[in-house]
Amino acid sequence: MSVVGLPGTPLPFEVGALYSRKAQIHALLGGQQQGGISTPRDQPFVIIFTGEAGKSHGYADFWDDDGIFHYFGEGQSGDMQMSGGNLAIDRHQQEGKRLLLFKSMGKGKPYRYDGEFLKVSAYSRPDTPATRGPNRTAFVFRLQPLDQNAFLPAAKIADASKAELGLGSTAVLKLTEVRTKQELFKRRLIGIEKQCRLTQVMDLRFLRASHIKPWSACTKGDERVDGNNGLLLTPQADLLFDRGWITFEDRGKLCVANELPADVKKRLGLNLKPGRSCGEFNAHQRAYLDYHRNKVFEKRFHGLTNPISELISTVD
């Protein structure tokens, strides 16, 4: 275990993969099996957990525009104290311990490994809701992922305009900016969507981040990095959605283009029954879906005059 824990050495977890908290995470690393921060005894790790359940305790973890994850410390009532798990996060580098983040997929479901992080700073946030009692002051840790490009396959940026990408050194700068925004979009998206709407696959290694309102159609910069403007989809479902062969109603019913060839529909191996429920969408997602239904669905694939040129649609 001491070898596994050394900085820079491989861990027995893959980013995006799913693990049982008790049988696979704690059985290997040790630590408390309850709560949001686990501190294995005599092991070089601090394990932190995030998820929707934390909202009931006033924890509202989020990604900022600079790609930094803001993680709320532990303590359900009263002002948080810089002790216990909070102190372990704050001093993890000084203590030589690696900070690992897992996300809950829901009650009774596995946890997704979101990677290794470094604490860059911390701040106090007053007037934070408590599990019980009056609002309190919370500690929030600003965490930077060690691997900035660990999440999901490269998102599609082929539809970025030529004017936007520019030429020469300008193109390099623009492409770097695009990739940075794509990474932020993906990280925000996986905080909202947990699985593919069509297949229920949760393992990020088999999913793609698909914009609902296409990148090139976003007139505001915040639309491109808004996690609500996206879906997690398996590659085949991503292609169908991206090119307008399928879409969704606000309540989650699947819509399928009449022109989708029956033979293709059969051989894709997806349940493409029109009207099947794929889960409701939140209010922000519905606004983007309205655009997709009216501007992309049953329209975009007509514009693909040369399908061969579309076979390569990502920038590696």
Mean pLDDT over 164-188 rounds to 73
Distance between CA atoms of residues 81 and 96, nearest Å: 22
Distance between CA atoms of residues 272 and 237, nearest Å: 10
Per-residue pLDDT at 130: 81
Distance between CA atoms of residues 274 and 180, nearest Å: 36
pLDDT tens string 211-247: 999 998 998 879 999 999 999 999 999 999 999 999 9
User: Tokens 């997709």 sit at which residue?
Assistant: 292
Whole-model pTM above 0.85?
Answer: no
Mean pLDDT over 269-274 rounds to 96
Q: Between the CA atoms of 262, 250, 152 and 19, what dihedral angle is there, to the nearest 10 degrees?
A: -100
Q: Which of the residue ranges 150-154, 158-162, 213-217, 224-228 would you say has the lowest mean pLDDT?
A: 158-162
Answer yes or no: are the C-beta atoms of 99 and 115 closer than 8 Å: no
Per-residue pLDDT at 7: 61
CA distances, 193 to each of 65, 165, 186, 198, 314 (Å) = 19, 29, 10, 12, 22
